[in-house]
């Protein structure tokens, strides 16, 4: 009897809750922004966006060498080299086999240099049970992406993989549209991938570039998003140049340097990119002055400085293009 009364009470309460929320939604007081736990564009969202790059990397490789990449990343801890992978595959050996071979070679050198083998040191190098368990979990996760079929991918399979990649990219982009790596990965996928590059995809690439540029204008503390904004401006300029080249004769299509955008357009992109780079410099100097810049890992600081240097060199080309346009025609 008590259970029946409790069930009726829960039912009545649920009906009242639904009707109340419906009224609030219709009045505009409650809106669904598709942002559970407010993760998007938060510090946690930024972290998730960066962590998602590893899964994206595996999907991008179509699972062919993903397990080897995962093992190498875990053991070396500093990324992977695509050139070395290709060489290993050509030689017909796996990463583990090559690793064992190098171990044997190095061990031979050690024995020559030091006749007395230190067994005590060897015991210290043995992994703990936790380390072994972690290795097992990494290998197990990598096996999810390992391809075992000897046949080439079909067109439908390639399209399915491209769709998976796009979903991962979009999810990371929604988490942090101002992250340099996340934005560039999504942009280049839309414009360069074999399964994209369509007029619709290019239109979306322009849209996310404009969106990223607008979002960064609010940033007054972190200098790094301003490098992303500078890249977004440059990408928009290149897209406009490419679109104009499609309307020109074949001789001009082969060289973008012969495509001349209107002077006003060049000046607009130059001013926007110059403003982004100046804001990066000002906020970085402020972070150095306040001691915040040293909190950033050295690797990320060097990465930002290299990007700023490259962007600065590309920015100088706007003035060169404007000078060429000002020259009288012969």
CA neighbor of 280 nearest in space, from 317, 320, 314, 309: 309
Q: Rounded to an integer, what distance in angstroms lies between the CA atom of residue 267 and that of residue 144?
A: 50
Per residue in 278-312, pLDDT (tens digit) is: 999 999 999 999 999 999 999 999 999 999 999 99
- The residue written with tokens 């050139």 in the block is 83
- CA gap 191, 60 in Å, rounded: 15
Q: Quote the pLDDT of residue 277.
A: 97
What was the pLDDT predicted at 46? 79
* Sign for the pseudo-dihedral over CA of 162, 164, 165, 171: positive
More confident residue, 258 or 132: 132
What pLDDT shows up at residue 298? 94
Instruction: Give yes or no for a contact between 154 and 195, defined as CB atoms under 8 angstroms apart.
Output: no
Distance in angstroms (rounded) separating the CA atoms of residues 130 and 269 = 54
**What local confidence, expressed as pLDDT, does residue 19 receive?**
74
pLDDT, greater one: 127 or 237: 237
Residue 112 has pLDDT above 70, yes or no: no
271 pLDDT above the threshold of 90: yes
Torsion of CA 215, 296, 180, 241, to 10 degrees: 90
- The three-point CA angle 317-319-321 to 5° equals 70
pLDDT higher than 80, residue 220: yes
Between 82 and 264, residue with greater pLDDT? 264
At 26 the pLDDT is: 63
Burial code (b: 16+ CB inside 10 Å, e: under 16) for 23-44 equals: eeeeeeeeeeeeeeeebbbeee
Q: Quick one: 173 exposed, middle or buried, by C-beta within 10 A (0-12, 13-18, 19+)? A: buried
**DSSP conformational letter for 140:** H
* CA–CA–CA angle 298, 300, 302 (5° rounding): 70
- Name the most confidently modeled range: 76-85, 243-252, 291-300: 291-300
Cα–Cα distance, 54 to 60 (Å, whole number):
10
Helices (H), the chain: 2-26, 43-60, 66-76, 82-91, 95-113, 119-125, 129-143, 155-175, 180-192, 199-216, 224-245, 250-253, 263-290, 298-326
Q: How far apart are CA 87 and CA 132, in angstroms?
A: 28
pLDDT at 94 over 80: no
pLDDT value of position 59: 58
Of 26-40, 70-84, 129-143, 223-237, which range is least confident?
70-84
User: What pTM was computed for the model?
Assistant: 0.66
Average pLDDT over residues 231-257: 77
Among 57-66, 127-136, 306-315, the range scoring the smallest mean pLDDT is 57-66
Exposed, middle or buried by CB within 10 Å (0-12, 13-18, 19+), for 203?
exposed
Average pLDDT, the chain: 75
Q: Residues 27, 143: contact at Cβ < 8 Å?
A: no
Alpha-carbon distance 250 to 289, whole Å?
53
Alpha-carbon dihedral of residues 311, 316, 322, 327, nearest 10 degrees? -150
């Amino acid at each position: 009897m008590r259970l029946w009364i409790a069930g009726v009470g829960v039912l009545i309460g649920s009906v009242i809750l639904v009707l109340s929320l419906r009224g609030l939604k219709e009045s505009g007081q409650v809106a669904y922004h598709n942002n559970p736990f407010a993760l998007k564009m938060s510090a946690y969202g930024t972290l998730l966006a960066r962590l998602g790059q590893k899964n994206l990397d595996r999907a991008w490789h179509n699972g062919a060498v993903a397990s080897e990449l995962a093992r190498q990343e875990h053991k070396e801890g500093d990324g992977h080299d695509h050139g070395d992978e290709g060489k290993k595959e050509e030689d017909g050996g796996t990463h583990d086999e090559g690793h064992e071979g190098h171990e044997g070679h190095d061990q031979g050198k050690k024995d020559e240099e030091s006749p007395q083998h230190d067994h005590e040191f060897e015991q210290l190098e043995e992994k703990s049970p936790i380390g072994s368990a972690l290795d097992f979990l990494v290998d197990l996760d990598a096996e999810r992406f390992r391809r075992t079929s000897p046949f080439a991918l079909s067109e439908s399979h390639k399209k399915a993989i491209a769709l998976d990649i796009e979903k991962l990219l979009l999810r990371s982009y929604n988490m942090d549209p101002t992250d340099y790596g996340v934005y560039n990965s999504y942009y280049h996928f839309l414009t360069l991938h074999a399964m994209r590059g369509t007029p619709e995809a290019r239109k979306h690439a322009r849209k996310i570039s404009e969106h990223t540029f607008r979002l960064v204008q609010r940033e007054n503390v972190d200098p790094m998003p301003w490098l992303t904004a500078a890249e977004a401006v440059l990408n928009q300029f290149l897209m406009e140049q490419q679109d104009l080249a499609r309307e020109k004769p074949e001789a001009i299509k082969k060289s973008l340097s012969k495509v001349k955008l209107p002077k006003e357009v060049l000046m607009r992109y130059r001013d926007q990119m110059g403003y982004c780079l100046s804001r990066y410099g000002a906020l970085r100097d402020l972070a150095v002055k306040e001691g915040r810049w040293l909190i950033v890992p050295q690797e990320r600081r060097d990465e930002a400085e290299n990007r700023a240097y490259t962007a600065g060199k590309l920015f100088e080309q706007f003035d060169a293009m404007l000078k060429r346009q000002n020259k009288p025609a012969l």
